[in-house]
């Protein structure tokens, strides 16, 4: 907290007037991260031009790569679900359900996106891997699954 206060140009006691401690700070960051993620993902799906899987996955990957520490915080095992603003987590994840059209496909789509992004952030793919191609392969697979589930893309 002292380091954060210094970054903000204040003393730690002044920071505590605004936030009660590290857990409250982490909760505020998680809520901000979920809100920003939800806004970006909802906008990507809305502007997808008939290709919502590709738009969603591009936006998800871009958000995570641009903000890896925040991404890790909002997807960490210590996720403060019980303390979150009611409905925030569901709203932030809703674009996966809107895109998947079916709950289990939506969960699989999110699992692919999250797992692939974490592996990319951790540099766990073999050297020389074409990760754009990996993401395209996932996009193609989930687009086909979505079309099989829905019958045809929405108008």
pLDDT band per the 50, 70, 90 thresholds, residue 152: low
Cα separation, 102 vs 37, in Å, equals 21
Domains of the chain (ranges, CATH numbers): 20-150 (1.10.357.10)
Question: pLDDT tens for residues 82-129?
Answer: 999 999 999 999 999 999 989 999 999 999 999 999 999 999 999 999
Helix (H) or strand (E) holding 90: helix 88-100
Tokens encoding 140: 């193609």
Cβ-count burial 21-34 (b if 16+ within 10 Å, e if not): eeeeebbeebbebb
- Rounded to two decimals, the pTM is 0.85
More confident residue, 41 or 76: 41
CA distances from 30 to 4, 33, 71, 151 (A): 16, 5, 9, 36
Using an 8 Å Cβ cutoff, are 27 and 89 in contact? no
Q: Which of 20-34, 85-99, 135-149 has the lowest mean pLDDT?
A: 20-34
């Amino acid at each position: 907290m002292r380091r954060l206060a210094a970054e903000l140009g204040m003393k730690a006691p002044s920071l505590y007037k605004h936030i009660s401690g590290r857990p409250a700070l982490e909760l505020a960051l998680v809520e901000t991260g979920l809100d920003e993620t939800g806004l970006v993902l909802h906008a990507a799906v809305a502007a997808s031009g008939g290709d919502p899987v590709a738009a969603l996955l591009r936006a998800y990957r871009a958000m995570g790569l641009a903000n890896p520490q925040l991404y890790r915080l909002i997807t960490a095992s210590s996720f403060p679900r019980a303390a979150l603003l009611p409905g925030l987590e569901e709203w932030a994840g809703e674009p996966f359900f809107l895109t998947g059209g079916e709950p289990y496909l939506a969960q699989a789509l999110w699992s692919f996106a999250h797992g692939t992004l974490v592996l990319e952030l951790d540099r766990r793919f073999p050297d020389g891997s074409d990760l754009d191609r990996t993401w395209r392969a996932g996009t193609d697979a989930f687009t086909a699954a979505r079309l099989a589930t829905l019958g045809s893309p929405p108008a």
